[in-house]
Amino acid sequence: MDAGLAALLGAAVGSVATLGAAVVSGRAQTRAQHDQWRRQHRRDAYAGYLGALHDRDIAMDAVLDALRSDEPELPVVDEEIRRFIVLAREVHRAAEVVILEGPASLVRAVERVTDASSGLSEVMRRLAGDARAGDATRKADDVALAAERESILYQAVRDFRLAARGVIGNARWFRAT
């Protein structure tokens, strides 16, 4: 083999190797960018859901506070319930985005929050119905049950937050603080 052909083959092999390395590097960079984009979308969805939950929970607390009064003012209760319903719809919309973004572990966490929210809402509805009827026979038991279900709800929200941190890659930071 003459020197010119050897040089040509060497250049060709070097070019193919360089091109291969560039393709591999480009794919790795593309994958890293896609992963970052995906994390950002999930972070936005999870933050939106947590924000909607926060606003709805403040409204729920206002309803429960109004109902815990010895003589609840029904117009105030009704207004707080209307506000709660609007914010509960926002939570539902935000949950749908979380469900779309996934993963399945977060869908299960959302379902646990939804179940806990439903349990507390059920007690809240019963307290409101009894207040409208002027019936205070179950009030003490329902107020205690509401406190218990609030605790379950807040634990479910904390569990969602922890799971979300794990999905978007902040679990290490969360455990350290």
Residue-range domain boundaries for the chain: 39-176
Report whether 149 contacts 27 (CB < 8 A): no
Report the predicted TM-score, pTM, of the whole model to 2 decimal places. Answer: 0.77
Q: Residue 142 has what pLDDT?
A: 96
Q: Residue 32 has what pLDDT?
A: 66
Check residue 15 and report its DSSP letter.
H
Dihedral sign (CA 153, 156, 161, 164): negative
Report whether 49 contacts 107 (CB < 8 A): no
Check residue 70 and report its DSSP letter.
S
Q: Cα–Cα distances in Å, from 141 out to 53, 60, 144, 146, 151?
A: 26, 18, 5, 9, 16
Mean pLDDT of residues grouped by 10 in the chain (177 residues)? 71 68 65 70 92 96 93 94 96 95 92 96 95 94 96 97 89 44
Spell out the CATH class of 39-176.
mainly alpha
Nearest to 124 by CA among 43, 61, 76: 61
